[in-house]
């Protein structure tokens, strides 16, 4: 009995709704409101639909009855259904009405207020297709963009400075990829993951950027790959076309070789990146081609650094240890050793106190202290790190310094919380240690 009543009510509702819709369906002899006019409050024309050369056009007007937009349109007939509910009578009212929508379909021209063309192209069922041109107010070409049949940028792209000097040249492509989204099953109300296809406009191939003088400013190179494996290369140039910078990118982060050049074409920097992190040697060069600095990275952390003078002679070397310690060396210009120091199980603690510009020492800030690269804090008895752990608990240090003739000058050893200091003159004779030296 329940099944019979439910079926009857459902059939009655569908029959009633169908009857209401049928009464307002578009008939074959119905005509569209093809030609119409809309006026502004001041009585001037705002827009009109009119037939020109057997084609329906929509024309919009600005001030002084100046045409702003003129495009061929296709009028589309439709039916709107509106359901309202009366809370007092508990009744639903279904209102169905006809509607007409104007859709761009054909030639399209847009104008500046001065009468020059701003944009022109072709629509097909509301989508921009083919080549579209955009102009500056003085009539010079600004952009040329190519669209596919779905209104997506696909094909050549050009952008110009005023006076039609090329600014950017490149190509767009439509990339299809599969992605996921979360949803709910309407029957079980359980969460589910849906897979669907998506499209995205992406740059492809070589993109060239020009200066107003016509010289190449930079180049970018894009490779169309899967969404998870997108690769491209960015290049920048000096005014005369000499390379300035080159960067390899993967998934929108640095990945690969990065280079920079001086204006004379000499390489100034070269380094390697892996998934956005510095890895391996990063080398800096002087203008004469000699290396000025070499830095070795592992997982974006510097492990080794070597500094040279302009004559390619070693000046400075530092090797960082995993326990916040390091080994450091300096050289004289003649190539002989200047100093050597090794810090184990920690590093020297350095503190800096900032004093206000008014030199009021009463307002000075608390000192900022570091143990190597790690910030540390004085707890009243010893220094601790951010987690409260004591630093330099088993700290060891060895330091040596030489005269320019190669004779040892100073030797300091700190171990087991004891310090031993010795000093010699240039002839190798031991002398009392000078703490002020």
List the domain boundaries for the chain. 34-151
Least confident range from 85-99, 117-131, 180-194: namely 180-194
Find out whether 109 and 119 touch, Cβ atoms under 8 Å: yes
Nearby residues of 280 by Cβ (< 8 Å), 6 or more positions away? 271, 272, 296, 297
Residue predicted with more confidence, 182 or 221: 221
The confidence score (pLDDT) of residue 4 equals 38
Find out whether 377 and 371 touch, Cβ atoms under 8 Å: no
CB-count exposure of residue 91 (10 Å: 0-12, 13-18, 19+): exposed
User: Residue 398: which pLDDT band, with cuts at 50, 70 and 90?
Assistant: very high
Residue 134 pairs with which residues in a beta bridge? 119, 143
What pTM was computed for the model? 0.49
Find out whether 187 and 150 touch, Cβ atoms under 8 Å: no
Task: Decide if pLDDT at 12 tops 70.
Answer: no
Distance, in Å, from the CA atom of 405 to the CA atom of 230, rounded to the nearest integer, reads 58
The confidence score (pLDDT) of residue 358 equals 64
């Amino acid at each position: 009995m329940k099944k019979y009543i439910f079926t009857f009510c459902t059939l009655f509702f569908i029959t009633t709704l169908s009857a209401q819709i049928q009464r307002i369906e578009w008939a074959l002899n119905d005509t569209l409101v093809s030609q119409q006019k809309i006026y502004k409050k001041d009585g001037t024309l705002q827009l009109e639909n009119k037939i020109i050369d057997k084609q329906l056009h929509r024309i919009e007007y600005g001030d002084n009855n100046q045409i702003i937009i003129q495009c061929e349109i296709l009028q589309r007939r439709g039916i709107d259904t509106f359901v309202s509910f009366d809370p007092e009578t508990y009744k639903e009212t279904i209102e169905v009405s006809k509607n007409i929508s104007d859709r761009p379909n054909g030639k399209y021209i847009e104008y500046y207020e001065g009468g020059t063309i701003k944009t022109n192209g072709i629509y097909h069922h509301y989508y921009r297709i083919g080549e579209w041109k955009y102009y500056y107010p003085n009539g010079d070409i600004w952009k040329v963009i190519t669209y596919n049949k779905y209104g997506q940028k696909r094909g050549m792209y050009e952008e110009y400075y005023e006076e039609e000097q090329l600014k950017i040249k490149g190509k767009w492509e439509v990339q299809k990829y599969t992605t996921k989204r979360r949803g709910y099953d309407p029957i079980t109300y359980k969460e589910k993951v849906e897979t669907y296809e998506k499209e995205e406009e992406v740059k492809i191939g070589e993109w060239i950027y020009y200066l107003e003088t016509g010289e190449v400013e930079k180049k970018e190179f894009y490779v169309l790959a899967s969404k998870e494996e997108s690769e491209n290369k960015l290049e920048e140039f000096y005014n005369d076309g000499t390379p300035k910078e080159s960067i390899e990118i993967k998934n929108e982060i640095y990945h690969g070789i990065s280079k920079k050049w001086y204006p004379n074409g000499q390489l100034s920097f070269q380094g390697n990146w892996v998934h956005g992190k510095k890895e391996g040697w990063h080398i800096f060069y002087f203008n004469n081609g000699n290396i000025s600095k070499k830095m070795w990275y592992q997982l974006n952390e510097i492990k080794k650094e070597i500094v040279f003078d302009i004559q390619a002679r070693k000046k400075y070397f530092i090797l960082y240890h995993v326990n916040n310690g390091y080994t450091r060396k300096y050289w004289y210009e003649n190539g002989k050793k200047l100093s050597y120091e090794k810090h184990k199980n920690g590093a020297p603690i350095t503190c800096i106190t900032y004093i206000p510009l008014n030199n009021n020492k009463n307002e000075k800030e608390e000192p900022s202290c570091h143990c190597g690269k790690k910030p540390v804090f004085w707890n009243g008895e010893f220094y601790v790190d951010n987690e409260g752990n004591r630093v330099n608990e088993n700290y060891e240090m060895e330091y040596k310094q030489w005269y320019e003739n190669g004779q040892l000058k100073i030797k300091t050893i700190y171990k087991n919380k004891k310090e031993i200091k010795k000093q010699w003159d240039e002839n190798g004779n031991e002398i009392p240690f000078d703490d002020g030296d």
